[in-house]
Structure 1
Amino acid sequence: MSAEPEVLVDRHDRVLVVTVNRPTQKNAMTLTAARLIAEAVDRLDGSPELSVAVLTGAGGTFCAGMDLKRFALGERPALPGRGFAGLVEAPPKKPIIAAVEGWALGGGCELALACDMVVASHSARFGLPEVKRGLVARGGGMIRLPQRLPRSIAMELLLTGDPIEAGRAERLGLVNRVVDDGQALKAALRLASRIAENAPLAVQCAKAVASAAPGWPQDEVWSRQAPLSDAVFASQDAQEGARAFVERREPVWSGS
């Protein structure tokens, strides 16, 4: 047993960096790691000093899915109400960015799909090979992939189990940007820092509405959006944003 924790959590100003730390196992997910990720999500959403998270993997691999050796012994790296890795069924209320180096396979790909944005290195690969092993991508792959890609492409990935390379994933809109190998985390941190500069309530509202609106009845979208956006417009930060613009200075957000 390694003395190293299976998940590392570090703070960079208003950004929480969560690193799956099982590099010799290609960051394959365990129940212990899932619990630690869930704790990090709670810390992100519960702390007013944090605005956004970056999820990544140690040692040049994002995550190779669940640990099949432990699966064969009966372990399931999922938590009730939260799903695989303590994340896929209950993403944080605040934004989260995946910084992907190397493989994001199976549950690892589903982790990336559960994030709001993806920054990937040139050598990154995304795949859902579950059908090759008699399984299905039930950690969000079958649900989210057709929402993020054209249906025919999503079906190809789900039914063949073959991976997609980062450049093609970017062209299809699955990845926000592709960077040099070894630079995914730095690029994701730059993106996270830009988000963290903005008003916290506004950022959380934007994520909440954008995430929920596709499932709202069309004749209710405006009425459902109204209480969420009204709270932002009535906030102290909305007043601060206007004052800062008039006074030609940077705003100082209070989160209220």
Structure 2
Amino acid sequence: MTIEYTKQGNVGIITINRPDARNAVNSDVASGIEDAIDQIEADDEVWVGILTGARTEKGYIFCAGADLKQMATDPGGMTTAKGGFAGFVQRERTTPIIAAVDGPALAGGTEIVLAADLVVASRTAVFGIPEVKRNLVAGAGGLFRLPRKIPRNIAMELALTGRLDFPAERAYDFGMVNRLCDEGQALDTALELAAEITENAPLAVAESRQIMLKSTDEPDEVGWKLSGEGMMKMFGTEDFGEGLTAFAEKRKPNWKGR
């Protein structure tokens, strides 16, 4: 299987499993990730997702990007109707996804990371968008998402030089990476972050994510409108009463996601 999907409590874990091809994206990977996201979105018990890569014989690799062998004959096969490249970078979803990055995340691998909501990376992880080295452009979101995450001049340098050595520690300093960890600990650290998220009301988490995505680059009045609408949605949920009751009773809430 090129994509493995498992669950741990309220967390769904998607693993790219093509170690012989450095976890590069081909048609099977793209359709597999899309199917896994479909499962996450349809499962009321999954409140957070994690996307990671299987370890290879040569060490940890998150994703080496597009499978260049397939690109030569069938570049469209690495995209899906709902998710775009890798079945993920353009996917509309409600569930937050954490990228757990151990080792290189290059080209389309970096673009997959940029499409996630949060990023955990080991200190051995590196990023890069080297498409210009193959007479390509970073067409899966890298050219506009990367300068939103790091300073534009740094993103421009990476895009124009095609450098493959942008380290996780520097990405962390710029705010692109949420948490750093030791090699081999990205998934465990992502699970720790997911556990912090799943302590909270899942409907409120999903709504907060949507409001932030829709309002960050908009005028304040858009933010006020969306925030007010989001609050009204929460008032009408079963979990709203549970949150207040749990506070009054000095206990942890028992969230239902409804």
Would the TM-score normalized by the shorter structure come out above 0.5?
yes
Counterpart amino acid of residue 149 in structure 2: R
Amino acid aligned to 2:160? L
Matches of 1:187 and 1:220, distance apart in 2: 34
1:8 matched residue in structure 2: 4
Q: Distance in 1 between matches of 2:92 and 2:67?
A: 21
Change in Cα spacing, 1:22 to 1:165, as seen in structure 2 (3 Å) is same
- Partner Cα distance (1:35, 1:50) in 2: 20
Offset of 1:46 from its aligned partner? 1.2
Give TM-score, length-normalised by structure 1: 0.95
> Given the superposition, is the C-alpha separation of residues 88 and 133 from structure 1 closer, same or farther in structure 2, using an over 3 Å criterion?
same
Corresponding position of 2:66: 66
Distance 2:62 2:32 in 1: 16
**Partners of 1:44 and 1:92 within 8 A in 2:** no
SS in 1 for 2:111: helix
SS across alignment from 1:186: helix
CA distance in 2, matches of 1:86, 1:93: 15
Deviation at 1:220, TM superposition (A): 3.0
Offset at residue 255 of structure 1 (A): 1.1
SS at match of 1:87: coil
The alpha-carbon distance between structure 1 residues 233 and 156, as it changes in their structure 2 partners (threshold 3 A), is farther
Matched, 1:87 2:83: no
Where do residues 55-134 of structure 1 align in structure 2 (5 Å cutoff)? 55-59=51-55, 60-76=60-76, 77-134=78-135
Structure 1 range deviating more: 217-226 or 154-163: 217-226
Residue aligning to 1:205: 207
Q: Deviations over 1:59-91 (max 9, x none)?
A: 111000000011112243001242101110115
Please tell me the root mean square deviation across aligned C-alpha atoms, in Å.
1.3
Question: What residue ranges of structure 2 are gaps of 5+ in the alignment?
Answer: none
Cα deviation code 1:94-118 (max 9, x no counterpart):
1100010111001100000011111
Contact 1:113–1:141 (Cα < 8 Å) also in 2: yes
Q: Tell me whether 1:23 sits opposite 2:19 in the alignment.
A: yes
1:104–1:126 Cα contact (<8 Å) kept:
yes
Q: Tell me, yes or no, if the aligned pair for 1:91 and 1:115 is still in contact at 8 Å.
A: no
Give the structure 1 partner of residue 257 of structure 2: 255
| 2:162 matches 1:161 | yes
Counterpart check, 1:144 vs 2:135: no
Q: What's 1:173 paired with?
A: 175
Q: CA deviation at 1:215?
A: 4.4
* Structure-1 separation of matches of 2:221 and 2:201: 29
Give the partner amino acid of 1:24. Answer: D
- Work out the CA distance in 1 between the residues paired with 2:208 and 2:154: 28
Count of residue pairs the alignment pairs up: 252
Letter in 2 for 1:66: A
Give the Å deviation of 1:35: 0.7
Q: Distance in 1 between matches of 2:54 and 2:159?
A: 26
Contact 2:34–2:82 under 8 Å retained in 1? no
> Identity over aligned residues, as a percent?
44
Out of 131-140 and 222-231, give the one that drifted further: 222-231
SS at match of 1:146: helix
Query: CA 1:151 to 1:205, structure 2 compared with 1: closer, same or farther past 3 Å?
Result: same
Q: Which amino acid aligns with 2:107?
A: G
Amino acid in structure 1 at the alignment position of 2:205: V
The CA deviation at 1:146 is 1.1
Instruction: Give SS of 2:216's match.
Output: helix
C-alpha distance in 2 between matches for 1:178 and 1:214 = 25
8 Å contact kept, 1:31–1:75: no
Q: Which moved more, 1:216-225 or 1:160-169?
A: 216-225
| Separation in structure 2 between the aligned mates of residue 75 and residue 142 of structure 1, nearest angstrom | 19
User: What TM-score, normalized to structure 2?
Assistant: 0.94
Name structure 1 gaps, 5 residues minimum: none
Tell me how far 1:234 sits from its aligned partner.
Answer: 2.9
Give 1:68's aligned amino acid.
L
Q: CA deviation at 1:218?
A: 4.1
Cα distance in 1 between the residues matched to 2:198 and 2:249: 21
